[in-house]
Structure 1
Amino acid sequence: MIPSPRRSRALMAPPLLVLLLCCLLSDSPTLAPPSPDSGAVRSVTAYFRTNNTAARRGPDAQRTFLRRTQHPEYRDQRCSLDGMTVTAEPALGTLRPDEEFTVAGRHPAGRVWVVGVEITVRREGVVVGRQLGSQHLVALDGRWYGFAPCPG
C-alpha cells in the first residue's frame, strides 16, 4: 500500500523537527561572513581596488604594489610576473578568517583571512588567463598584506 502524500508529510515532520531543534541548540557556532559595512570588508575592498588600479597602470606599477604589500615575513619570496598583470575580483561574501593557513608549515604573523576571487591575467592588455580560486590576506599592524602571485 502506498501512503498518501499527506500521511508521508506527517511521518517526516517529527524527524525534521528533531533535526531543526538540534541545529538550533548546537553549541558550535557557525562563522558568518563579515557584514558589507564591516571594517574588514571595506579595507579588503580597498586592497583589491588598489591592486587592480596598479595592474591597469602596467607591470611596473603592479610590481611596486606587490612589493609594498608582500607579507613582511615573506618579502624575500617574490617572483616575476614576466610582464604580466593580475587583477582580482573578490567575492566578498566568502571573506572569512582562516586560522589553519600556513606557508611552508609556518603560520604568518597577523590575522589570516581568505576570500574567493576571480583572477584575470593580462599580457600587454590582452587576457591570457582567467581562474577562480581563493586568496589569503593577512591583517597585521593595521595593514593588509598578501603573498605575491607566481605564475606556474
Structure 2
Amino acid sequence: MSARLGGALLVTLVTAGCAVGVSGTPSAASQEAVDAGLVGGYFSDGLAAARTGVAAQREFLTRTQHPDFRAGACDPGELVLTVEPALSTLRPDPGWTAGSRGRPRGRVYVVAVSVTAKRDGATVGIQIGSQHVVVLDGAAYGFAPCPR
C-alpha cells in the first residue's frame, strides 16, 4: 500500500512540476540578461582583436572606449592584452566611479578577468583582477588599460 502511495505522490510531484513550466506566456529576457550578452560580445571581440595583433587591438580599444572617457584614454603601446572574463562572476556595480573622472553614464558591471600581456609574442605578465564594463545605448563599453 505504501509503495502505491509513494508512487502516486511521485507522479503527482513530477507532473505538478511540469505543469508549472508549461502554462503562461514567455517573458522577455531581463535587462541584466541582455546586458550580459552584450558584455560577453565585448570580450569576444576583444579576444579576436588580441589574436590579430597590436593594430587590431588598438582599433578595438578606441572603438569601445566609453564615450565619456575617450579624452585621455590609455594606450597599451605594443603590448597585446588577452583579457579572458569569468562571465559567471558578472554583476552590477552601480556605485563604481572611474576615479576622479566620476561615474560613467550607463549600467555599470564588474567581472573577474585573467589578463595575459604579451610583447612580440612573448608573455611578459599575467594578472587576475576585475574589469568594469558599461552598457550604454545598446552597446558595451570599457576603459582602455594603462600598463605600468
Pick the TM interval, shorter chain.
0.7 to 0.9
Residue correspondences, number:
117
2:51 equivalent to 1:56? yes
2:95 pairs with one of 77, 97, 100: 100
Cα separation, 2, equivalents of 1:78 and 1:58: 19
Amino acid at match of 1:103: A
Structure 2 partner of 1:45 = 40
Structure 2 partner of 1:17 = none
Structure 1 partner of 2:131 = 135
Structure 1: which 4+ aligned runs deviate by more than 4 Å?
none
CA deviations 1:19-76 (Å, max 9, x no partner) are xxxxxxxxxxxxxxxx9x9323322221111001111111111000000000001101
2:106 equivalent to 1:110? yes
2:119 equivalent to 1:123? yes
Structure 1 partner of 2:4 = none
Contact kept, 8 Å, 2:94 with 2:107, in 1: the verdict is yes
**Structure 1: runs of 5+ lacking an equivalent:** 1-34
Contact kept, 8 Å, 2:93 with 2:110, in 1: the verdict is yes
Cα separation, 2, equivalents of 1:96 and 1:80: 27
Structure 2 partner of 1:11 = none
Give % identity: 50
Structure 2 partner of 1:84 = 79
Matches within 5 A, 1:2-81: 38-81=33-76
TM-score by length of 2: 0.74
TM-score by length of 1: 0.72
The structure with the largest helix share of the pair is 2
Cα separation, 2, equivalents of 1:44 and 1:80: 21
Q: How large is the Cα RMSD of the aligned pairs?
A: 1.6
